Amino acid sequence: MYFLTLKDPNYMVKGSRDPLGFQVLWQQAGRTVIPALSTVSNNIRDFQVMALARFCHKAFKVPNRDELAFFLCFEQLMAYVRFVESNGYDSFNGIDKVTRIMAADDKHLSLSVGSDDQLLSNQKSYGIWGKYNRPFEEIGLGNDNELNNVQQQKLDENKKLLHVVEKLATKKGAQHTIDKDMLSELTSVFARPKNEERRSYIAHLLKDKFEGTLLGLAVDMPELTEKSFYEQLDILEAKTSDNGFALQIQKLRSTERVLSPLNRVFRYLQGQSYWSFKEIENDDLIHEWTKRAPFSGPTLIHERFSAILNSTNRELVTGLAYVNSEVCARRGSEPWLTITTDGVEVNHFEGGFTQPGYDPLTENDYTYFLNTWFQLFKQLN
């Protein structure tokens, strides 16, 4: 027998299904503080894989046309090494397949670009390459001489690792077989970053647009990593002596205090196929979510959105419908909501949910890359 429960609010449609175009808005706002991280580039071990692969690509003179094939095979090798090093407790994309293969009786592993060997249905898109390639380049890790020296040391100190990688560099994605028993001898790759490696990652991954203000505050107050989004913002603003940083933190807070309630109302509207204007005008949740605390303050988005938030229920819903129609028009798709003479028709229900206990003063929907930043900070300290 199956039991249905409320949908987890974290399970929301994102990306191209973003009905109000808020993804671009919050990411642009987040870039005013954190320059290059993404929402998914939050694992230092994935950065370690990327750093060593990029170094080997140059060191072994892998032709550019073969770089992706080399990387996919290298990622497969590192996934099996991670599994052994962590006794199966590490978490990464492809862990399910790695677990099955490592549990099988076969004493050998196959590495190649073939579909049977790839860790995911599309390893390029859903693996480390798709998640880390862009931030790795934008952050400039590949050009850090100190970090490159660390990669050379890893190869010099582990001749078996050097031998396997040299083989992969010449294979151009063709099948290469290794012994499972060898994996335990390659685990030094994932030693916790220290000294030069740690310094390099801190310098690149934890930089901000305020000359290290965020890092300095986090070092002084490591408890920040365990705080909620708004708690972090409140503490950062209160403790900083940098007025520019404080103002930007204020703007992030105000931006989310607009975007999150509007997003929740839009998702709430998707809970039924039609709303009369009378229903909308009298709806307590819409009023509670948007009027509990009158909004004012500087934001990093167009004032149109704060005006929608501060309007009546009916004007608010109508405003959201117009925003959605503009977003859909740019994408060449039909709007999710249609305004009629008497109310609003809901044409698309994907991603809709209701959380009656939602508190716009304490709960956020978007992260502004702070979550990624603090996750990496914890791993490096």
Q: Each residue of 49-88: pLDDT tens digit? A: 999 999 999 999 999 999 999 999 999 999 999 999 999 8
Give the model's pLDDT for residue 269: 95
Q: Which of 183, 150, 175, 176 is nearest to 82 (CA)?
A: 183
Inter-residue contact 183 to 80 (CB < 8 Å): yes
* Locus of tokens 């990327």: 50
Give the model's pLDDT for residue 351: 72
Q: Which two tokens stand for residue 55?
A: 């170094």
Residue type, 110: S
Residue type, 205: L
The low-confidence residues of the chain, meaning pLDDT below 50, are: 1-16
**What is the C-alpha separation between 44 and 25, in angstroms, rounded?**
27
**What is the C-alpha separation between 318 and 313, in angstroms, rounded?**
9
**What is the C-alpha separation between 20 and 39, in angstroms, rounded?**
19
Q: Compute and round to an integer the Cα radius of gyration of the chain.
A: 24
Output the CA–CA distances (angstroms, integers) from residue 355 to 148, 166, 267, in the order listed: 48, 54, 10
Instruction: State pTM to two decimals.
Output: 0.90
Give the model's pLDDT for residue 317: 97
Give the model's pLDDT for residue 12: 39
Q: How many residues does the chain have?
A: 381
**What is the C-alpha separation between 76 and 83, in angstroms, rounded?**
11
Give the model's pLDDT for residue 295: 72
The SS3 call for residue 223 is: helix
**What is the C-alpha separation between 120 and 126, in angstroms, rounded?**
7
Give the model's pLDDT for residue 312: 95
What is 291-336 written as a DSSP string? HSS---S--SS-HHHHHHHTS-HHHHHHHHHHHHHHHHHHHT---S
